[in-house]
Structure 1
Amino acid sequence: MAKQIFKVIFINDGQVFELYAKQVYQSDLYGFIEVEEFLFGERSQLLVDPAEEKLKSEFAGVRRSYIPMTSIIRIDEVDKEGAVKMHACQGNKVTQLPLPPLKPGSDQ
């Protein structure tokens, strides 16, 4: 049976993150997606990508990440993992959708 690999693209603090993970699913926490088992490719020691190293250190020791649905740009199931990426949002190309406000005491 082939392993599932997901490419998750989301916004975090004005940056667009492209990460790979083995598990992605809807969280029990309302409005969040859970991402587990991040994959960071083993690259040659001759060429070091600073963005990849920054993401590796930021997610070091993270077992599970809860990402707000409004921050998710796209989730793809892919055949193999690629290089993780991080870049700044440019202009109005990426916009987060607002969530409707929750009413206090509602069961939503």
Structure 2
Amino acid sequence: MPAQPVYKVIFQNGGQVFEVFARQIYQSDMWGFIEVEEFVFGERSQILVDPSEEKLKHEFSGVARSYIPLQSIIRIDEVEKEGSVKVSDFKPAAPGSNIASFPFSAGPPQSGGED
């Protein structure tokens, strides 16, 4: 493993699935969010341009920190090195499938007493 870890974060954003790489990731103080910092984009040859990588570079250019809702996270992996970032269309489960989204609460747990 490298001295500084690299994380692959896969999350849903609207009707698409983003796969990005970052050096810093942690649970946010803002309830229900993951913070992602120091995005890593591969330096590829200028001859071959990947449109999805260019889209994500543009999307995250100038972003110091991104807050991603927990319910949007699909997977987080610590990887040995960064790969190519990807954008793909989200394909919902087929009708009649036994796959469903995990339910989540709308806010932080409430205290038991009245104020």
Q: Structure 1 length as normaliser, TM-score?
A: 0.89
The aligned amino acid for 2:110 is S
Alignment RMSD: 2.0
Rg larger in structure: 2
Runs (4 or more) in structure 1 with deviation over 2 Å come to 93-98
Deviations 1:39-64 (A, max 9, x none): 00100011000010010001000000
The aligned amino acid for 1:69 is L
Q: Structure 2 length as normaliser, TM-score?
A: 0.84
The aligned amino acid for 2:19 is E
Change (3 A) 1:21 1:95: farther
Matched with 1:97 is: 102
Q: How many residues align?
A: 106
Gaps of 5+ in 2: none
Gaps of 5+ in 1: none
Q: Are 1:59 and 2:63 an aligned pair?
A: no
- For the residue of structure 1 that corresponds to 2:57, the secondary structure is helix
